[in-house]
A and B are shown apart, each in its own frame.
Chain A
Amino acid sequence: MSNIKIKSKNLDVFYGDKQALFDVNLDLNEKEVTALIGPSGCGKSTFIRCINRMNDVIDICKVTGNIEMDGMDINDKSLDVVALREKVGMVFQKPNPFPKSIYDNISYGPKIHGKGETKSELDEIVENSLRKSALWEEVKDRLDEPGTSLSGGQQQRLCIARAISVNPEVILMDEPCSALDPIATAKIEELIDELKKTYTIVIVTHSMAQAVRVSQKTGFFHLGKLIEVGKTEKIFKNPDNKMTQDYITGRFG
């Protein structure tokens, strides 16, 4: 039985008057991949943004209920959000490397978090992060080139390397492959398989096939509610809820 890394209880999120999440109770297991699926606007991205307090940057956003990581209340106002985000990395739909060199893209995070004080320590972090994100062999001879000079798939792996450079515990991925071709997607999926040995991963995806391939647990959201959550195999072969079945089989009206 896996340990629960993140636990949400009765989680509600409001954007002004509009409620975006309703009473979400969801456990994310440690060193497992959890896929969140559901139509656009169903609340899956809102949910993962609760995990690293990204919703804080939206003034009108209000989060109530409980969300914990290793028993620590993520919503605690006294919590150091920078420290939280060091533990919870994030990768977005569109690769967004900094307009800096490949090397600096990776070393920036450790530097601001006070890791890697010497050049050789930073070199080691950069190499390790790029190796873990399966990019090292492709870029080791051009670390000084801009991150933006890489292909889309490489840029996304660079962003993953950047996320893991500060040694996080959780990686949130918001549709990380939707802008990538099938080969680049396959490389990211292969990477996710490898990364889950070390990190707890939450991935939002619109690709059912991807959810089946990469995740062990799947949650289906609809109109801000978590409709069903369970083992991925069960959800895609024999879901309990009719709404889940209608969505994954393409019967959604």
Chain B
Amino acid sequence: MSNEHTVKSYEEELQFLKDSLIKMGSLTESQLSDAMDAVIKVDKDSIDKIIKSDEEINKFRSKIDTQIMNLLVKRAPMAIDLRETISSLKISQDLERIGDLSKSNAKKVKPLPLDLPDELLGNLKRLGELVMKQLNDVLDSYVNKNFDKAKEVWEKDEQVDDLTYIAMESVIDFLSKDKKNLDFSTHLIFATKNLERAGDHITNIAETVCYLVKGEYLKGSRPKGKVIQE
């Protein structure tokens, strides 16, 4: 028995959907990485480019929505195809939100002074690297339909929470030393929080991948690290 659909165009439409999602994922990765770089290097020249790339991500989202609507109407997908279709819808939503958060972070670069001390940015940089790694891993788990890897990402969100807490503390410490820092410190606090939120969307994607692969949701609540009260 073959693994291909009897209807070739159905096979192609599903493949096209997966390809679109992978491209959207890779664009979201670049944008997150660029936005992180911009914050750490206080690189104001790259802001516009990052904002522009968010438009691209949003376009992908609409394109994927249309592909999914067409698949649902034309094919009434079942079982793995249904899970693939619905998962694509959910993952594309999470990717789009990660894109929005990266754009928001890029915008926060504008008011930052160029001479920020390393000790202030060190923890933020580590948090950014961890979130990047998480996004990379979760997209890998999607491409390879790897349940264990997706679950690992889901579990590692605890570390994102912990690092967020530490990064927040560094900014608050810095802020408490001199009230003059209030303006831009607030932006750094938001940037840190945005990364933590991106981490949450990544965990959503990990949950979706687990459902896609095994057809059942992960049991229990996700491990949580230290959380800054909002």
Contacts and interface: CB of A to CB of B under 8 A. Distances in A.
B223 interface: no
A238 B79 contact: yes
A241 to B, nearest CB: 11
A4 interface: no
A252 B79 contact: no
Contacts of B76: 208-209
Interface residues of A, number: 18
A221 to B, nearest CB: 15
B3 interface: yes
A77 interface: no
A114 B83 CA distance: 53
A250 B6 CA distance: 6
A209 B77 CA distance: 10
Contacts of A236: 78-79, 82
B7 interface: yes
A251 B78 CA distance: 11
A99 to B, nearest CB: 38
B80 A249 contact: yes
A246 B5 CA distance: 8
B221 interface: no
Interface in A123-152: none
A253 interface: yes
Interface in A228-253: 236-239, 242-246, 248-253
Interface string B173-207: 00000000000000000000000000000000000
B79 A253 contact: no
B79 A239 contact: yes
B77 to A, nearest CB: 7
Contacts of B216: 238
B77 A237 contact: no
Contacts of A253: 1-2, 4, 6
Interface in B1-17: 1-7, 10
B83 A251 contact: no
Interface of B is mostly: loop
A243 B77 CA distance: 16
B5 A251 contact: yes
B215 to A, nearest CB: 3
Nearest to A245: B79
B81 interface: yes
Interface of A is mostly: helix
B83 A249 contact: no
A249 B77 contact: yes
B215 A238 contact: yes
A249 B78 contact: yes
A239 B83 CA distance: 12
A250 B10 contact: yes
B2 A249 contact: no
Contact of B5 (A208, A239, A244, A249): A249
Given A237-B215, A238-B215, A250 B79 contact: no
A250 B216 CA distance: 22
Contact of B4 (A237, A244, A251): A251
A246 B83 contact: no
Contacts of A238: 79, 83, 214-216
A253 B76 CA distance: 19
Which of A208, A212, A249 has the largest count of B CB atoms less than 10 A from its CB?
A249
A248 B79 contact: yes
A181 B27 CA distance: 46
A238 B79 CA distance: 5
A109 to B, nearest CB: 37
25 contacts: A209-B76, A236-B78, A236-B82, A237-B82, A237-B83, A237-B215, A238-B79, A238-B83, A238-B216, A239-B79, A243-B1, A245-B79, A246-B2, A248-B79, A249-B80, A249-B81, A250-B5, A250-B6, A250-B7, A251-B3, A251-B6, A252-B1, A252-B6, A253-B4, A253-B6
Can you list the 3 inter-chain pairs with the closest CB atoms, starting with the nearest? Answer: A238-B215, A253-B2, A248-B78
